[in-house]
Structure 1
Amino acid sequence: MPCATPAAGWCVDEATRRAAIEAYDLDSLRDGAALRQITDFAAALCGTPVALVSLVEEHEQVFLARTGLTLTETPREMSFCQHAMLQPDIMVVPDATQDPRFIDNALVTGDLHLRFYAGAPLVSDDGVPLGSLCVIDTIPRRGLTALQRQGLRVLADNVMARLRDSRDAAAWRATERATRRQLTDSEDRFRTLADTMPQMVWSTLPDGYHDYYNARWYEFTGTPPGSTDGEGWNDVFHPDDQARAWAVWRQSLASGDPYQIEYRLRHFDGTYRWVLGRALPIRDAAGQVTRWFGTCTDIHEQKLALHERELISQELSHRIKNIFAVISGLISFAARSKPGFAPIAADLRERITALGRAHDFVRPHSPQSRPNAQQDSLHGLLGELFEPYRRDDAPPIRITGDEIAIDDRSATPLALLFHELATNATKYGALATDAGTVEVSIRRGADTAELCWTERGGPEVTPPTGADGFGSQLIELSAVRQLGGSIRRDWQPEGLVMTVTVPLAAFRRD
């Protein structure tokens, strides 16, 4: 087969495609966690049962990662992705049974029952189409939203970043092996090898003195040959990265450990681009370092893609936070027009505020907005929820015991549960007096965790009579129905003791 399937009036030589695919270390990526996270996210983002990273080879399409599908490959003639990889943008097939290209396709007529398909092309840096990141559904759909399209493009960029990493790692390993062999040959042979590499290659003496750079370094930086020998290389680092890069390099020189760091290098056009710096020591028979060989790999586009993905996550979280504010405002507006609704409105606003605090704690953050506490920490979440109850810088609610990792799914019911307990304690229990205190103790077992709420120093407590109020029902909803736990109340005269037993699996997704 000399050419890839025509799609836009052009054709790609299959030998070129085969060589491009073989340059990647596919075995290191196949069924790996990194690409599986991307397909999991793509399926969740687009609301489809199946997502795939598909590479179209000469006779079959191979799935490097898959979500919702057990097949690892299919014949190329059945491939939708061989069409998608040749498109300038995402290819969408709303209903394959209505598309002449696929109406008789075995994936459509067979057990897979494929109906909807959307694929973002995976194209190498040299413009060679490799395959696609696709999502599949068994029912027809109109298409993708603008956000889903943007997200699928960002995820496809991340797939290519992973592929480039595998290629660069394979090139690095090949270079290391070749370098060891070339140490016994002439320096001219080594320079020829280094100058053919796509990475910037450099070498230092055992004390870290830089005495060699390949042609790619000078092409990238635009510096005159020899001007970055010794410590001159530090001048092409971004000013904010110089001290950090020096510290990591000195640590490697002192310990002999491999060197790896991301930093920004000044490009010949005056801009700064992110690169990944790596270096390994060459040792003699006695184990002494005789030389360091290193590379710099341009990862700027990968960093931009990751940054764009973070921006999308933060924008979604920001909109959710705004929804909490809008709901709280609507409740306040209703309370002003109906004074009798005011007490209920105040309770609702407090509960919504608690949910907002929980969401703000676990949502994606930038380095500037990230909370001081670790975001998957139950202690940290409770600390945020109880902050409004602080008295004169002294917390009346003390959190003790084991730490448990949480996620965004469990944060909401936990916030409602403990907000309701703190509110009741403020109205009727230990927090209704200045001397009252509460201890929240956490004990982790093999399969469950016990969260014990103990009040002391408040008014004398008597068990309530009559039907459960809304607050008790909310506690039941949060602890039992949402977290799958159980509740045990002990109405001691000196204060309520409530123990909530929750399965560990409810706190965090596996």
Structure 2
Amino acid sequence: MRFGTKLDSGWENMKQAGKMSKARVGSSELAEEQQRLILNAIPQMVWSTRPDGYHDFYNDRWYEFTGVPKGTTDGEGWNDMFHPEDQERARSRWQLSLNTGDAYEIEYRLRHHSGVYRWTLGRALPVRDDTGAIVRWMGTCTDVDELKRTSDELRQTSALLGLIGDSTPDLIYAKDNSGRILYVNAAVQQAVGRPPEEILGLTDLDYAPDEAQARAIMAHDRHVIDTGQTLDIDEVYVGPEGGIRHYRSVKAPLRDEDNHVIGIVGVTRDVTKRREAEERERLLTREVDHRAKNMLAIIQSLVNLSRSEDPVSFRKAVTGRIQALARVHGLLSKSRWDAINLKELVDQELAAFAGKNMISRLAGPALRLPPASAQPLSLVLHELATNAAKYGAFSMPEGRVELDWTLEANATDQPLLRLTWSETGGPSVAHPVSKGFGSALISSSIEQLGGEIEFEWRETGLLCVIRVPAGKGIIPEAPPRSPRPPTASPAALAGAVVLLVEDEALIAMEMESMLLDAGCKVLGPASSVEAAMRLISDSRPEAALLDVSLGESDVSFAVADKLAGMNVPFAFCTGYVDASELPPRFKAAMILPKPTDRVELKSVLTRLVTAAS
């Protein structure tokens, strides 16, 4: 305000002087000295030129500002007082006014007596006689340097604040006491799908797609205005694409210099993805809980229903069935419980017999099984293989098994998955007198899938044909083939020192027992990283089995790094499906999946000990 008042008052003084000069054209009543006294009394740099633009007068303010001797800027000398970058522009603009008679106005940098160039506003008007001819030009120079710099700083600050506001993904806005929008950043414009001219000056009710949501937002704003307190709250809003977006808003009172609340200022963050992730996590937790309880219920039933003549056979039967469930669970986990490849399931269930060349044929189209079909079929395959090992083809060196599967047409529109299990070269078989738990488990599993099973007890071996509705979940797909573990060599493990790291007491006891039965010497078990480090500092193992998770927060990776530095081979004994779940440096590590059986443990240990030797 101070600069504007000074500038305007100086311009009015210059115009009054011009009027006096015009009145003087036809009269000699005012002496030239009197006019000079008047112009020098004006608190403004004043100059005057002839009609052709020749500068012949400057008042005292000009010389005080520039510090040049009087008379040195007469004629064309005035232009040398400007900044070199402004001289041509100022000269051209002045020449245009001389040619047209239009008012002259321009900003340029004028050299101050201190040697510093200061921004100055130059103005001039023509003085005309009664005929309209220009008889003189009267002009002023006003120091606007501080105003110019302040204006530039404000403009730069405003641009910077706008850039900062538009650079954040958060919604930033300000509203007045009536809820009218005063400011929005680019994120707000994107969220509501409108340009600023369609938002500013409006309330949320004027453009929000959902009136109830708009009223809820404005109620939150009103609470901030009425209480003067900051509010941190969840809000929802229908975006321009029509979907509901979830936001977390922090709103604070906007106050004037007298500390009166004049509106609100808010920062709102889109938390839709986080909310969706939280909901997925909640559903996943429920699903994991359901599946874990369901699996425990199945295992409980297997334990309660399994029958055997002695404890060793009972343990072997129960362990085998639990291992079958664990294998299919691992495949399902690897596929994120989407679907698994039928060939891969068959390979895993028959891996122990494939190594003995007792499977002469595995053939069928590449199919994927949904979880509801995979689990029962894994138990069926396990029971068929177990029965063959006890009484059928797998019990004789020359025995062989063929397994085929295909999709066949049905009377209905739904195809059937047909699996044919055929044994040859085994002992002569006859229809069993009584039905054991294994047979009952096979039948009930197929009934669970809505299918049928046929047994033919041939002299050459068992023939079993299974038909189950394929359903929309069984689809063709090229399957990956799982590697088969090599046959364990008992001699290779005799006397081998194996470090065992496991924090679950029961699992540690069972694995220690299996290691001892394999002829190994057990170093441990160690239930923590600290305990394991102490053991390997005192004694060097030949191989190691490491549980990944130890306690609530510890992991065995430090032990693995130590062993790697000692060139001691190790395997992770874990529920992870494969090494892809581990840190990158352990991608090539061997995995002994949990729960673990003796055959698989011996196979992994054989490879470790062989690598060590």
* TM-score, normalisation: structure 1: 0.38
